Amino acid sequence: MDHGPRTSIIGLGNPLMGDDGVGIAVVERLARLTLPADVEVLDGGTGGITLLHLMEGATRVIFVDAVEMGRAPGAIGCFDLNQVDAAEQGALSLHETGLPQVLALGRELGPLPEMLLVGVQPACVAPGTILSPRVTDALPELVERILRAVGGYAILLPMQAEILEKLKAIPAGWQRRLYFMGVLGEALVPVGVRPVIVGGNAVEFYTLGGYATADIDLVVAERAEVDRCLAAMGFTREGRHWFSEELDLAVEIPGSVLAGDRSRVTEVEIDDRLVYLIGLEDLIIDRLNAFVHWRSARDGEWAEQLLALHFDEVDFDYLRCRAADEGVGDTLQKILSGLEP
């Protein structure tokens, strides 16, 4: 029975031989995602004749493997195996898979599907189960390239009914927004994107709901990735905002550059998922800027409230330095004078 076109993503390599296991590491990440219905993810191990069986019925195959390309460790290369002859395939020196020989045999048996090899230059192929730092750093881009190749965006499987129901069960407000950001952040991990909560939603968190806001403001350099992910999650876009009526959530991405120090971003764990928020001191500066430069008295009050609530946690050296740079040092000192014993 013909089920239509199908793409098989096959990870190759030996996870007991250091970087030779990168193909398996990639398909393990992909296996945690919901991919288009016509895409399957397979562990091809160290290859051999069984690869022909794994390819059976596929109209397109994407192999993922460590490839000797003579380039810097972690470099990524893509090869159209239908256009590369057997000698060139052999020159790629695919570790232990025997892929060139298998494909040569496959061609003798009949036509092969469209085939793409996504490879990464290994740093170390030796006994061990840990990927080298350079190859580990390449994993998000490897996953992203494959996601683009299959023409769809991935959502983590937990973002199905179970998590949707859990989100709905959380009362609408800052706690639901924070939980959702954990789900969104986890969905973006494979493509190396880490959105940071800023603005009113960050104030809401640091004041434990004392401040009220209606949407989630994010800073992220890779906006297109977040847009694709939100669309895949069922959000609809209206102007600058993404909305989910089902979850009563709204998301806006007002900028791509964090107004502060990324090393000071606060990490919060929600059900084993990480949520990232602008650092406390940088948020205070953000409110002071709005108070001084935009004449927003309410933001001045929230800057004072944040200082009062977290007085013992604030890095005052950093805060005063940033305040001076932003031209709000005098205002900060006036607020502190009213708070200090």
Top pLDDT among 52 and 190 is at 52
Distances (CA, A) of 128 to 16, 20, 46: 5, 10, 16
Q: Please tell me the distance from the alpha carbon of residue 175 to that of residue 340, in angstroms, as a whole number.
A: 31
pLDDT at residue 280 in the model: 97
| Cα of 42 vs its chain's centroid, Å | 22
Range from 107-116, 283-292, 327-336 carrying the lowest mean pLDDT: 107-116
pLDDT at residue 110 in the model: 72
Q: How many CB atoms lie within 10 A of CB 175?
A: 15
Top pLDDT among 6 and 265 is at 265
What is the bridge-based pairing of β-strands 33-34 and 155-156?
A: antiparallel
pLDDT at residue 25 in the model: 93
pLDDT surpassing 80 at residue 120: yes
pLDDT at residue 233 in the model: 79
pLDDT at residue 154 in the model: 46
| Burial of 126: CB neighbours in 10 Å, binned 0-12, 13-18, 19+ | exposed
Q: How many CB atoms lie within 10 A of CB 152?
A: 18
pLDDT at residue 190 in the model: 64
pLDDT at residue 92 in the model: 55
pLDDT at residue 49 in the model: 76
Q: Please tell me the distance from the alpha carbon of residue 177 to that of residue 175, in angstroms, as a whole number.
A: 5
Phi-psi region of 48 (alpha: psi -120 to 50; beta: other; left: phi over 0): left
Q: Please tell me the distance from the alpha carbon of residue 206 to that of residue 208, in angstroms, as a whole number.
A: 6
pLDDT at residue 191 in the model: 67
What percent of the chain has pLDDT above 70? 88
pLDDT at residue 331 in the model: 96
pLDDT at residue 341 in the model: 60
pLDDT surpassing 70 at residue 334: yes
Mean pLDDT of 12-16: 91
pLDDT at residue 89 in the model: 47
**Mean of pLDDT over the chain:** 84
Question: Which phi and psi (to 5°) does residue 332 adopt?
Answer: -60, -45
Q: Please tell me the distance from the alpha carbon of residue 324 to that of residue 330, in angstroms, as a whole number.
A: 8
pLDDT at residue 85 in the model: 54
In three-state form (DSSP H/G/I as H, E/B as E, the rest C), the secondary structure along the chain is CCCCCCEEEEECCCCCEHHHHHHHHHHHHHCCEECCCCEEEEECCCCCCHHHHHHCCCCEEEEEEECCCCCCCCCEEEEECCCCCHHHHHHCCCCCCCHHHHHHHHHHHCCCCEEEEEEECCCCCCCECCCCHHHHHHHHHHHHHHHHHCCCCCEEHHHCHHHHHHHHHCCCCHHHHHHHHHHHHHHHHHHCCCCEEEHHHHHHHHCCCCCCCCCEEEECCCHHHHHHHHHHCCCEEECCEEEECCCCEEEEEEECCCCCCHHHCEEEEECCEEEEECCHHHHHHHHHHHHHHCCCHHHHHHHHHHHHHCCCCCCHHHHHHHHHHHCCHHHHHHHHHHHCC
| Cα of 101 vs its chain's centroid, Å | 36
pLDDT surpassing 50 at residue 16: yes
Q: Please tell me the distance from the alpha carbon of residue 26 to that of residue 40, in angstroms, as a whole number.
A: 13
- Give the model's confidence band at 96: pLDDT under 50 very low, under 70 low, under 90 confident, else very high: very low
Maximum mean pLDDT: which of 181-190, 217-226, 267-276, 312-321: 312-321
Domains and CATH numbers, the chain: 7-150 (3.40.50.1450), 161-339 (3.30.460.40)
Q: Please tell me the distance from the alpha carbon of residue 303 to that of residue 307, in angstroms, as a whole number.
A: 6
Segment 133-166, tens digit of pLDDT: 999 988 887 887 787 777 644 444 344 567 778 8
pLDDT at residue 156 in the model: 42
Mean pLDDT of 216-235: 85
Residue for token pair 């996504």: 118
Top pLDDT among 214 and 250 is at 250
